[in-house]
Structure 1
Amino acid sequence: MQRRYTSLAAAGIATALTLTLSGCGGGQGDRVTLKLVAADYGDGTGPGSRQYWDRLTRAFEKEHPGIKVDVDVYNWKDVDKKVADLVRKGHAPDLAQIGSYADYAAQGQLYSADELLSIPVQADLQPTLAEAGEVGRVQYGIPFAASTRRLFYNKKLFAQAGIAEAPKTWDDVAEDAELLKKQGVKTPYALPLGPEETQAESLNWLLGGGGGYTDDIGKYAIDSRANVKTFEWLRDELVDKGLTGGDPATLNRADAFARFADGTVGMLNGHPALIKQAEAHGIDYGTADLPGKDGPAASTLGVSDWMMAFQHNGHRTQVGKFLDFVYQDTNVLNFSRDFGLLPVTTSAAQKMAGDHRFGTLQDFVAPLRDAQFYPANKTSWPEVAKALKSEMGAAVGPKGDPSSILSDLQNMAEAADTAGG
């Protein structure tokens, strides 16, 4: 679930080892060790993803005694680089569960989803997530963890300010933020446009204003008129009026979440990980659809982390068996429950609905149907996202010029896209 809302993990240092008993290399009777590099979704207070994978691989190996799965788990800041280093050295793992897949797909290094997954499992992937994993209409990225965004608000602070319900429009947000400010709330609206996750916060607002990072045919449209007007509104109606508690360009998402959990933030856009954080601090919170320019936003940001399978070791059959096991409902729901992320299969999402054990998390599932994702199928996206993180926040500063900054970002994105293509 990014960049994000948490982190992935894993990169192996050794090449997957194939012990061939029949001499056929890759045949049904071979004993094979698969190498999986995975990300750690833990929050530092428990065993994290390692325990999840240990439990899952033991169950899989019991059903498939000819296949062993060796998992290396790394934190988010290291895992993508670990996989990249392995691939560069010619030791690609069989599987990697990381943040992006497009570069490897473009280089012809990955199996497609239909080469790996059984038809029922592939058909069960949530459609918006499966489509976000496509390059050239072929799916290479298999969604593993997902999240959407909703507005979180502090019910106690809202009540003290005389606010009866969550805002539905941007004007409501500004009005409610003014009321919270008058009550002495330090940060009426937390707007994290710092270098950690600016691309996420920005996209939520762009969608609410009828824009986005790309147009209907997939070309970058960062400097569209709708996007410029969105950032002008943020600058004029929230930041300049002192409703964000400081300069958004210096506020990271993790800090914004921590302030909400401390009870000093009135409202902010948040993903499911904030549920556990807020509840651990005893915050009486509510969630609502993201406000848009003229009403609730038609769509929200969806974020997915990806599972992919490299062709390097030739273990297609064994990898496919393992992935069919990974995406069984029990395993998908166990992961969602352990880490507060959304199920990536339709059947698991249906089972989550109405299950009290998942609490508020259920409210984040339905928005996946209409969610908008980063253009992760573009090889240029990592470079563009890096530029957004470093530049976007300045557009709403005291001397911010959204038109100029978004134009510069558009030019950079077009150049990166051309080079990548």
Structure 2
Amino acid sequence: MNGMSATTALGSSSDVLFLMLGAVMVFAMHAGFAFLEVGTVRRKNQVNAFVKILTDWSVSTVVYFLIGFPIAYGISFLKPVKQILGDNQGYDITHYFFLLCFAACIPAIISGGIAERAKFWPQVIAGAIFAGITYPVFESLIWGQSSAGLQAFFKQVGGAEFHDYAGSVVVHSIGGWLALPAVIILGPRMGRYLKGKSHPIPISNIPFLALGSWILAIGWFGFNVMSAGHLEKISGIVAVNSLMAMVGGVLAALIAGKNDPGFVHNGALAGLIAVCAGSDLMHPLCAFVTGAIASVIFVYGFHIEQEKLKIDDVLGVWPLHGVIGSWGGIAAGIFGQEALGGMGGVSLASQTLGSLAAIVFALCNGFLIYGILSKTVGIRLEQEDEFRGADLSIHSIGAYPEEHIR
């Protein structure tokens, strides 16, 4: 092996390792999704939360491998291993692993909104459609093989392409706005609203909720930093901006949420969701402000959703991922400007258009898929099964089995 080929091989190997480490960090975030949901739902639905997240992950892995990644990037792995490895140490298939972790976030996000009253298999089917088709189509339009046309439109209208470095819009907004139709079609949990009055259902386990938030926050640095894709493109500003947005979200939630631990721990996630799009552009102080605003949006948005609109979104995934994901796209167009210390090259008009396009795309897909499932196989548990809890009704075992021994 000559010097040039050795250098090339080392570069390819470094990129593969870089992406693999990022993939493992984002994969670990799915444990965070699970514990966040388990801590929020009642004890009779904790097993269901764990099984849903793991099943959705597994199904997403298969459908994104066979259908989703080829849709998004035009690369299929239905060929001999020698061809898969190619001359870059299997970079493409490692890239699939990394981006699968993004795709699998979609059903994981939705899971928190529909918790405690959704049937198991219809949601698995919906998650498979979203991870295998819906999400990859939008991913292709923004990041992938079909991006040239839509990005050219954004540039022509707004003066710059739509910028979403790590998925505020492509991942989180899509997931949150897909969840809204599901929550609306399902309707509220039994006893949540009676005679027009709200009866909040207490969460089960604050330590589990906090653990979920911490796992997600730590993994998020793989989510954002490793979105560079190549070791040579890594940016320290992405890491620090992610950190600043996170703590901005925590501190704002501490004040706006009046020291409520649920808001504080979700405030960290609000900041991280919002900064994804512009984490490579903003000044750290602007990232802090972006995260703080996102957290305030969540605190008041959750109240409006639950108490004014009477939408029983158990984990508040619509305001947290949907609305704040949209804010993140727009925030990149504001705080990414050179006048505010950013890198520049972004347009508020393009960022707003791209964020709105995601909302329309997700809502249309969400109402279509869940509408069809609702009219055919049904998506809600029977009243008796919901009353018993999804753990016993679906899985025939509770989170604490010894309590059911007679």
TM-score by length of 2: 0.26
Decide which structure has the larger Cα Rg and report it: 1
Q: Which has the higher strand share?
A: 1
Q: Which has the higher helix share?
A: 2
TM-score by length of 1: 0.25
